[in-house]
């Protein structure tokens, strides 16, 4: 039979059990288990041979914000010996004399990789890898773009990928 005294006496035990259960759940939520087959950083270094660009003057005459640069260039392996694909994309002039905002797709023999980010008129640029297909399905990471010469005829594209 229930009485207020029996409920009062059992309440501390219920409270202790509740605290124990809550502590167990909290401790379990702190346990991190790596996913099976967790991705490791992969490197892909290629060389872009520039030359397939078209500049569309959309803003004020000459170099101005809003101008559009489209391109399609060949991509070679790290040793610059064998063609391994091509790169297609576009850039929009954002700040005259300083930067463009770009999007492009690397069409590699093993799949595609898409990137987006700034291209600086001077110095290296780092852009975000936004996806991929084939071997690169689910790719994420970044890509460092470095001019191989002052004339901008070739670029090192250094991808750091997880997929």
Instruction: Name all domains of the chain by residue range, CATH numbers in brackets.
Output: 42-162 (2.40.480.10)
Q: What is the pLDDT of residues 9-63, one digit of tens each?
A: 555 555 455 445 444 444 444 444 445 555 689 999 999 999 999 999 998 999 9
Place of tokens 């990137």: 115
Q: What is the dihedral of CA 49, 50, 52, 58, to 10 degrees?
A: 160
- The whole-number pLDDT of residue 59 equals 83
Higher pLDDT, 105 or 7: 105
How far apart (Å, rounded) are the C-alpha atoms in residues 87 and 100?
17
The answer to whether the beta carbons of residues 89 and 105 sit under 8 Å apart is yes
CA 111 to chain centre: 16
Q: What is the DSSP string of 69-106?
A: EEEEEEEE-TTS-SEEEEEEEEEEEEETTTEEEEEEEE
How far apart (Å, rounded) are the C-alpha atoms in residues 96 and 130?
26
Compute CA distances 23 → 11, 29, 43, 99, 151, whole Å.
Answer: 18, 10, 43, 53, 64
Q: Is 129 helix (H, G, I), strand (E, B) or coil?
A: strand
Give 2's pLDDT tier (boundaries 50, 70, 90): very low
Query: Which of 158, 93, 90, 84 is CA-nearest to residue 124?
Result: 158
Global model pTM greater than 0.85: no
- The whole-number pLDDT of residue 80 equals 97
Q: Which of 19-28, 118-127, 135-144 has the lowest mean pLDDT?
A: 19-28
């Amino acid at each position: 039979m229930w009485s207020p005294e029996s409920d009062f006496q059992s309440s501390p035990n219920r409270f202790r059990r509740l605290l124990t259960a809550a502590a167990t759940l909290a401790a379990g939520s702190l346990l991190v288990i790596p996913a099976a087959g967790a991705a490791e950083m992969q490197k892909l270094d290629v060389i872009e041979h520039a030359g397939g660009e078209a500049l569309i003057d959309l803003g004020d005459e000459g170099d101005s914000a809003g101008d559009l640069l489209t391109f399609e260039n060949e991509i070679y392996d790290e040793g610059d010996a064998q063609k391994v694909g091509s790169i297609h994309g576009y850039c929009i002039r954002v700040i005259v004399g300083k930067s463009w905002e770009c999007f492009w797709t690397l069409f590699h023999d093993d799949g595609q990789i898409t990137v987006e980010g700034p291209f600086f008129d001077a110095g290296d640029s780092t852009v975000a890898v936004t996806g991929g297909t084939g071997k690169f399905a689910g790719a994420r990471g970044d890509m460092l773009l470095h001019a191989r010469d002052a004339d901008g005829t070739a670029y090192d594209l250094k991808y750091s990928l997880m997929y």
